[in-house]
Amino acid sequence: MVDFYYQPGSSPCRSVIMVAKAVGVQLNKKLLNLQAGEQLTPEFLKINPQHTIPTLVDNGFALWESRAILVYLVEKYGKTDSLYPKCPKKRALINQKLYFDIGTLYQSFANYYYPQVFAKAPADPEAFKKIEAAFELLNTFLEGQTYVAGDSLTVADIAILATVSSFEVAKFDISKYPNVNKWYENAKKVTPGWDENWAGCLEFKKYFD
């Protein structure tokens, strides 16, 4: 059994749930209430001194940072390497999109929405422009492509799917980016665990209603 510390509304946590489903790993889910400071208990700090979620503990091996967890799950438990192929060039493209997600796309979400949601700050128009720029880039990457990295579903699609679905519940207009919109509709259909991802999104949506 693999212990998984998470919150269902978190898109990085949701990406792990989907990849675990895809490789057939059952997660022993342990809900952490961040608002109550449960990530700062001595017990959790011993597991993850950075006190972030998601955190995975596999038979005593602790790992955090969602995109590292995605790769670990495929490399350890995947029956094939299709979600994270061994070919160096294919893998490099997947890594590139994972880094695009963490450094540009998801970062733009966090920078614009989190101050409004958690600190009741006013919307920052400059931060919104960063979201639009990130979606323009993703739209360009997806020109003529069904998947974000290569010709089949990979962990890069799943990470970005978790992020883009958060933008949907935040009421960002994805339809303005036709290649992203087309990719998103397909990814929802072909990604294992989409239903649980969407249930987590709906939990997160309450912050935007």
Write out the CATH class of domain 88-206. Answer: mainly alpha
Range list for CATH 1.20.1050.10 in the chain: 88-206
Distances in Å between the Cα of 117 and the Cα atoms of 70, 94, 185, 209 are 27, 31, 27, 11
Average pLDDT, the chain: 96
Burial of 43 (0-12, 13-18, 19+ CB in 10 A): exposed
Name the token pair of 99: 């880094």
Q: Delimit the CATH 3.40.30.10 region(s) of the chain.
A: 2-77
Indicate which residues carry an active-site annotation: 10
* 80-126 pLDDT per residue, tens: 999 999 999 999 999 999 999 999 999 999 999 999 998 999 999 99
Band (pLDDT 50/70/90 cuts) for residue 1 is confident
Architecture of domain 2-77: 3-Layer(aba) Sandwich (3.40)
Three-state secondary structure call for residue 28: strand
- pTM: predicted TM-score of the whole model, two decimal places: 0.97
**Residue 41, phi then psi, degrees to nearest 5:** -70, 150
Q: Which long-range contacts (CB under 8 A, 24 or more apart) does 190-194 make?
A: 190/153, 191/18, 191/22, 191/153, 191/157, 191/158, 191/161, 192/18, 192/21, 192/22, 193/17, 193/18, 193/19, 193/20, 193/21, 193/22, 194/18, 194/161
Question: Among 32-36, 85-89, 160-164, which is the least confidently predicted range?
Answer: 32-36
Q: Do 193 and 157 meet the contact criterion of CB atoms below 8 Å apart? A: no
pLDDT of residue 36: 87
Whether 207 shows a pLDDT value over 90: the answer reads no
Q: What confidence category does residue 19 fall into, taking pLDDT thresholds of 50, 70 and 90?
A: very high
The alpha carbons of the chain give a radius of gyration, in whole angstroms, of 17
